[in-house]
Structure 1
Amino acid sequence: MTSSRLSERLAGQRRRGDSGSKWIRVAMAVLATIGVIDTGSITLKAWGVLPSLSCSSQGFFGCNGCEKVLSSDWGSLLGQPLSLFGFLAYAAMLLMAVVPLVLQGEARQTLAQPSWWGMALLGTGMTVFSAVLIGVMAFAIRDCCPFCILSAALSTGLLLLSLFGGDWEDRGQLLFRGLITALVVGVIGLGWAASVGQPAVETGKGVPPPVRAESTAATIALAEQLTAKGARMYTAYWCPHCHEQKELFGRQATEKLTVIECAPDGRNSQKELCEAKKIEGYPTWEINGTLDSGVKPLLKLAELIGYKGPALN
């Protein structure tokens, strides 16, 4: 009799506890749904299903829009847009939040606590990986995407709600599993971030250092228009100011410039052309038949050719 009453009391406590956390599941379902829409829209745009996204958020957290971030080397994984994996994570979070709400009886009780574990650990992984992506935007891409910031905020919110809503009898076990998950995701995420964006480059004598900066739509457009106008940049592979000029354009835009190597021992050297042009300093720009040496601000170059296109920063 005593054992039966104790079991009933414990069952009642579990029911009241799960009922008390019902609103947290609902809140998590709402956040996860927003995440599904956020990442799903980005994925559909990457696949060409959606023509465009309204993401020109000049001034929002200093962002210039999403295109630079989403089209960067960090915007895809395993040949698919990175947002697809975020979509799958949010969809899994949504299912774990909602399914125990719609089930009844023993099935509901069976899934209640495992779902909290799943949401807490998945939320931990999502939050840590989002932190890695924020770091990539800040230090590698040097721009940001409002959709990406929203996703990071949603991941953090889901993690906090899962920690608050679960019936954690052994918090030490929760802390241990959470730390292990965070460590594994952090190491994998940092390793991925470090390995991406390192294009295969030629190395050896006579080869200039690789350009690391990411280009914007504006710098690419400027480079294309400079080339169309017949502009040339005379450089030497060992010249630090030449590298500085290329970094202003970024890697993708630099590839569209007409760059003349003047060093005699440089790769694809055009020493004779440089001597014929009487090039004495590097870099030297030849625009509209006029030679002008030194690193040039992008706005100055744009002015010289009557650039028309996206605004240059």
Structure 2
Amino acid sequence: MRRKRSIPWIHRYSRFIIGAIASIGAALTAYLTITKLTGGEVGCAINASATTGSCNDVLSSPYATVFGLPLSLFGLLAYLSMIAFALSPYIINPESDRDLRNKLEHWTALFLLIGSTAMMIFSAYLMYVLFGKIQAVCYYCIGSALFSLSLFLLTVFGRTWEDFGQLVFTSVIVAFITFMGTLGIYAPLNNPAIAEGKIPIPIPQQSELIPGKGWEIETKSGESEIELAKHLRENDIKMYGAYWCPHCYEQKSLFGKEAFAEIEYIECEADGANAQPQACQAAGVKSYPSWEIAGKVEPGRLSLKELAEVSNYEGPTNFQYVLPTR
């Protein structure tokens, strides 16, 4: 009895509190998952305004779907796992098999630490998305983030850790892996063009450079690229570049092979194919690539959307490609 009274209350009841919080989280995410899958709308304490979105705006955003499934479904699985980790040692009677009970408590404590750390880091990123990108208020999301933080704190302070170094090391490693994995999952959404189905152009490799010619254009042109290229030629818009210039290759790849054949391209490097270095000097070209538009030289690589705007192009604009992410 004296030994039991000397144990801090948080150590006695932490697993039960974790189980209770995770149960509430599981009920919450189950409700959100069912609502999402049935196409309904969740009840919101506040409605969307001109400056602030509602919880339905958040739950219908691209960030609320992962691998084609509702994000809340993964949250439900995480909460159910935390319930199992927290309460499973209590299925073993300590009077009949104390060693098994102790081993189960040890391993489930480690799983609780891994799970709660991952949930906390992932929830922190979602809070950044909620307020920084979607700019909405979602009490379900905020509540789940608070649950995740509570689970982590209860896991850390709810028992005596024999190896403090293991606690810190495991938390840091799991946090890093979770953060990098989260960035990877949402990388397409952080590049709006890729999220819309655009294709990144290939990155030029130095070993594939053809002397005097450059790199072969690998991308294929669509109707929009070809129509824009024809429009640029009709309006006497020229591109200046050098065969060895990677940014020039990327500019060409945005058009695709067929469309770039329509572009009036001036090679500025003396040993390049069909070189016209005098024309480049006369135009005042100082960097590659550069565009001559209405008698004015515009330095730098331009997106096809920018070229369409500056040239008053009014044709189709379903351009296929975007610059690569490095």
Normalising to structure 1: TM-score of the pair? 0.58
Q: 2:24 aligns with which of 23, 29, 34?
A: 34
Whether 2:182 is the aligned partner of 1:189: answer yes
- The one of 109, 112, 115 equivalent to 1:119 is 112
Runs of 4+ in 1 over 3 A off after TM superposition: 12-20, 201-207, 261-264
Structure 2 CA distance for partners of 1:110 and 1:57, relative to 1, 3 Å: same
Q: Please state if 1:268 is matched with 2:316.
A: yes
Change (3 A) 1:262 1:110: closer
Q: Measured at CA, do residues 29 and 63 of structure 1 come closer, stay the same or move farther in structure 2, by a change above 3 Å?
A: farther
Rounded to whole Å, the distance in 1 between the matches of 2:198 and 2:32 is 30
Aligned length: 208
Q: How many angstroms does 1:16 deviate by?
A: 7.5
CA deviations on 1:4-23 (whole Å, 9 max, x unpaired) are xxxxxxxx979975986231
2:167 to 169, 174, 177: 174
Determine if contact 1:63/1:146 at 8 Å carries over to the other structure: no
- Whether the 8 Å CA contact 1:113–1:167 is kept in 2: the answer is no
* 1:1-313 equivalence runs, <5 A: 21-48=11-38, 51-58=40-47, 64-105=53-94, 106=98, 107-196=100-189, 198-201=195-198, 238=306, 264-268=312-316
Classify 1:20/1:136 alpha carbon distance in 2 versus 1 (closer, same or farther; 3 Å). closer
Alpha-carbon distance, 1:264 to partner: 4.9
The answer as to whether partners of 2:53 and 2:135 remain within 8 angstroms in 1 is no
SS at match of 1:47: helix
The separation in 2 between residues aligned to 1:102 and 1:16, in whole angstroms, is 24
Deviation of 1:110 after TM superposition, in Å, equals: 2.0
Name the amino acid aligned to 2:33.
T
Specify the structure having the higher radius of gyration (Cα): 2
Q: 1:268 Cα shift?
A: 2.8
Supply the RMSD in Å over aligned alpha carbons: 3.4
SS of the equivalent of 2:161 reads: coil
CA distance in 1, matches of 2:62, 2:74: 16
- Find the aligned partners of 2:33 and 2:152 in 1 and give their Cα distance: 23
Corresponding residue number in structure 2 for 1:221: none
85 and 149 in structure 1: CA distance in 2 versus 1, 3 angstrom threshold: same
The answer to whether the 8 Å contact 1:136/1:193 transfers is: no
CA distance in 2, matches of 1:63, 1:165: 38
Offset of residue 64 of structure 1: 3.4
User: 2-side partners of 1:17 and 1:99: how far apart?
Assistant: 21
The residue identity in structure 2 corresponding to 1:47 is L
3-state SS of 1:152 partner: helix
Question: Residues 204-248 of structure 1, C-alpha deviation per residue, up to 9 Å, x if partnerless?
Answer: 6959xxxxxxxxxxxxxxxxxxxxxxxxxxxxx659xxxxxxxxx
Q: Which deviations, in whole Å up to 9, do the C-alpha atoms of 1:48-86 show, x marking residues without a partner?
A: 0x84321242499x8532111111111111111011001
Instruction: Tell me how far apart the structure 2 counterparts of residues 119 and 191 of structure 1 sit (CA, whole Å).
Output: 24
**Which position in structure 1 is the counterpart of 2:204?**
none
User: Structure 1 residues 183, 195: closer, same or farther in 2, change over 3 A?
Assistant: same
Does the 8 A contact of 2:10 with 2:157 survive in 1? no
CA distance in 2, matches of 1:55, 1:167: 41
* More moved, 100-109 vs 85-94: 100-109
Deviation, 1:101, is 2.6
Residue type of the partner of 2:173? I
Deviation at 1:139, TM superposition (A): 2.4
CA deviation map 1:153-176 (0-9, x unaligned): 000000000000122111011101
Letter of the structure 1 residue corresponding to residue 90 of structure 2: L
Percent identity over paired residues: 29
- 1:32, 1:90 within 8 Å by CA — same for their partners in 2? yes
